[in-house]
Structure 1
Amino acid sequence: MQRKMRYLLFILLLPLISQGQFEKFTLLKDHIVCDKLEYAGGGLFAFEKKGKYGYMNAAGKEIIPPVYEYRYSYSKAFSAFKDGLVILYKDKKLGMIDKFGKEVIPFEYDDLFYYEKVKLVRFSKKDNYKTLYGLMNVKGDILVPAEYESIMGFENFFTLKKGNLYGLANSTGKLLLPITFSKLIPFPKNNTAIAQKDSDYGVIDLKGNWIFKKASSVFELTGIGDGMVKAKVNNKYGYLNLKGEEVIISKYDMGYDFDENGLAKVGNKESPSSYTYFYGYINKLGEEIIPLEHKTLWAFSNGLLCLQDKETNRYGYKNTKGQWVIKPIYIFANSFSNDGKASVKMTDGKLHLIDKTGKDLGITEQKLT
């Protein structure tokens, strides 16, 4: 028999990051007796009793009774609320309820996946031992029927697979591109997709018009970012523009998509047989903005890159021109968050918050990541 745990929660503060800010919730009831207790979002706490779980509010009042099961016995993880909704498991089927316990999607599905940005749910059903997928909204209205072998989300768009061919639908379920492509990878921010249809291979717009075509026997197109197409030739990465012109010849062992700053992270191996890479950043002219000399290199955040100085091993921040704007004086540092602040370890051994000018905002309890 599982031993009960008594939670003495006179003051329980559980910080959650939400839109760059900290929310703090306090469970007010002094004594809660249950097997497990955890904050689950939306002001509710998940609790376990007799192997099943439900949800209570901060006052300890049961809002949703403990009738739901863990989907996987090896991972007893509670389901967290998103947008006031949660996918749960009951009687070996998945469904969805709201934070008041109302069932919004019935418990009759083998698979549910919530696309938070567009508030759509991918669902699956079995047909003659074959799993087929569809899309519905959070009211349970079917937008795309369960007749596809896979559905993958790309922001506001979804690729649909039937047989060995792909098409494209939008977030209303409207079919934008027919199921005729043997390869289809959309990049919505660029309004483009890497596509192959019969012998044609290259980049199309999201209306299906060819922007350019390339020989698939030579070019392997692997990504599109900020108007630049990442291409692999002879096992090396380079970049094309949206005219299909090779503007940065393929010479890197590793390449990433260009970001909104007009920069791409690239890397080369220490030696041909090595598994160690040295990374840097290049611009659209192929110029090195950050030299390829860093084994670890993060992404730019708020226009600044957290970087370790090779001479001192200390950390500072460079801008998109490769200039130090906050000198490398920190023992360790994090990237800037959306609120324009970063946590750094100073020579006093404590963690401080700084702003984008490097101003010390004082000691923080945040942890370095």
Structure 2
Amino acid sequence: MCIRHQTMKYKFTLTLKLLLLGSFFAVQAETSEKNYLPSSSFNASYSFKEGRCKIKINNLYGFINRDGSILIPCKFDYASDFQNGFSIVKKDNKYGLILKNGVNSTPMIYDYLEPFQGNRALFKKDGKYGYLNLMGEEVIENKYAFARAFKNDLAIITVNNRTGFINRDGKIIISPKYDLANSFSEGLAPVMKNGKWGYVNAKDELVIRFKFKAASAFKDGLATVIYDKKTLIINKKGNAKSKKSFDNVSEFVKGYALCYKDGKYGIISKKGELKISGLNKMKQSNNGLYAFSRNDLWGYMLPTGEEIATPTFSSVGDFYDGLAKVQIDQKYGFINEQGNVVIPIIYDSANDFSEGLVSVKINNDYFFLDQDGIEQLVFSLDSTSVAEKIIVKVNQNKLLYNDGKLVTASLD
């Protein structure tokens, strides 16, 4: 079991000093009074993605690697997690893309950017939307009043308040003629015409006629629609899978979905069978389990109703890397998919697991734990830090930074 004082995996300790200078961080006259910094001066409560993790120092973002070394200095007003080798960053109110080594892939000229999907990234410039390729080149001109990210090789675009689809070369596949549309999924896309929703295929052939007030994307061969004030589950022929109607139905995950009717929650199968009903609070987890509440405490159950974690938690989260964050009395820990506590519920805050690590916090110290609860990295804000010189201890090696650039490095 992991506690704060167990032996560190890394025997050496490093201290990281970050010096952020500027007009805002003017050097102050020395006084006998201690300059206490807000906890927001340093934040390491983020997740590893593609071997990189954000940190924030004095409201500026940078990235560390799994050894705790700063790879990209804290100089951005915003930074997204890395995805497909890129991070979206913001500086001086403009966005751009950087690579995992911190080199700019694009200039910082965009008003809006989304992560790459289908080897294309949606951008907005001069009030219009277009798309970048993986080289950072504008391969589809910014000429659309509205557009969405690519999904299944097609993207939604809007021209003259009409909605259609283009392919990755920018060629129009379905001409802009619909009121609204959602992305293709399992070969069909929900589209609206004259205020009613139906479904078309990639050839723009009408597969399910326009008759629904609302329509979701298909998943596992089923979609949720609203027809005649009833929420129904339909197949790809447009036929209802169950005679039962609901106020709302979630997406199906592993053959089951969360349903809601008359203020109560339940679970329905793909065959339309109601497995569970009459619960006051439920949440669908991302791994096919269901969180449920009893007497204001939360637990987990299988879609069949079998409880795997008795309701004992103030709050519960989704499962990532097989573990879910749980809370008792303002403290956080983690349970596995069998409902067993595997990381003690002792932390003031906790993120979600990603790439086998999770960031947790006690007081002003951040710990990156592995799935066994063993500390791999420890970050702490040094008590001698002042606004113009933030000192962050990272397993005790000292590095001094000035304006985001390495000046000296020394070992104590």
Residue 44 of structure 1: how far off its partner (Å): 6.3
Percent sequence identity is 22
- The aligned runs of 1:76-155 (5 Å cut-off) are 78-83=78-83, 85-90=86-91, 93-115=94-116, 117-118=117-118, 120-126=120-126, 131-153=127-149, 155=151
TM-score (norm 1): 0.68
* Cα RMSD for the two superposed structures: 4.0
Verify: 1:244 aligned to 2:238, yes or no: yes
Could you tell me which of 242, 260, 264 is aligned with 1:267?
A: 260
**2:296, 2:62 → 1: CA distance?**
49
Instruction: Provide, for residues 54-108 of structure 1, a one-character-per-residue CA deviation record: whole Å limited to 9, x for no partner.
Output: 7788888795585x6x4xxxxxxx3245245333445554333334443321233
Quote how far apart the aligned CAs of 1:133 are.
Answer: 0.8
2:323 paired residue among 303, 321, 341: 341
Give the residue type in structure 2 aligned to 1:341: L
Structure with more strand by fraction:
1
Counterpart position of 1:13? none
Moved more, 81-90 or 143-152: 81-90
Question: Does residue 320 in structure 1 map to residue 303 in structure 2?
Answer: yes
Aligned residue for 1:207, secondary structure, equals: coil
Is 1:255 the equivalent of 2:252? Answer: no
In the alignment, residue 283 of structure 1 is paired with which amino acid? S
1:302 aligns to what? 287
Measured after TM superposition, the shift of residue 187 of structure 1 is 3.9
Aligned to 1:29: 15
TM-score normalised by length of structure 2: 0.62
Cα distance per residue 1:239-289 (max 9 Å; x no partner): 22221223335742x3134313232322234xxxxxxx3222222343321
Q: CA deviation at 1:211?
A: 1.8
User: Does the aligned pair in 1 maintain the 2:54–2:63 contact within 8 Å?
Assistant: yes
1:161: Cα distance to partner?
0.8
Conserved? CA contact 2:213–2:226, under 8 Å: yes
Match of 2:269 among 258, 273, 283: 283
SS in structure 1 at match of 2:283: coil
Contact between 1:266 and 1:281, CA under 8 Å: does it hold in 2? yes
Provide the residue aligned with 2:379 in structure 1: none
* 1:107–1:267 Cα change, 3 Å: same
Segments of structure 2 that go 5 or more residues without pairing to the other structure are 1-9, 26-40, 352-412
Distance 1:345 1:335, change over 3 A: closer
Structure 1 Cα separation of the partners of residues 92 and 318 of structure 2: 45
SS at match of 1:145: strand
**Change beyond 3 A, Cα 1:195–1:45:** closer
Instruction: Report the residue type matching 1:321 in the other structure.
Output: T
Distance, in Å, in 1 between the alignment partners of 2:61 and 2:322 is 39
Structure 1 residue 353: Cα displacement: 4.2
State the 1:223 CA deviation: 0.8
CA distance, structure 2, for counterparts of residue 358 and residue 55 of structure 1: 34
Mapped partners of 2:54, 2:330: distance in 1: 36
> Structure 2 CA distance, aligned partners of 1:319 and 1:118?
34
Query: Aligned letter for 1:361?
Result: V
Query: Is the alpha carbon distance of 1:65 and 1:328 closer, same or farther for their aligned partners in structure 2, counting shifts above 3 Å?
Result: closer
Deviation at 1:139, TM superposition (A): 1.9
CA contact (8 A) 2:297 2:314 kept: yes
Tell me the SS of whatever aligns to 2:238: coil
Shift of 1:183: 2.9
**Distance apart, 1:140 and its partner CA:** 2.0
Distance in 2 (alpha carbons) for counterparts of 1:54 and 1:327: 38
Code of the residue aligned with 1:355 in structure 2: it is N
- Given candidates 332, 337, 344, the residue that maps to 1:356 is 337
Task: State the number of aligned residues.
Answer: 313
Superposition deviation, residue 136 in structure 1: 0.7
Q: Deviations over 1:147-181 (max 9, x none)?
A: 11111126444201111222223455454323333
Is the contact made by 2:53 and 2:63 (CA closer than 8 Å) also made in structure 1? no
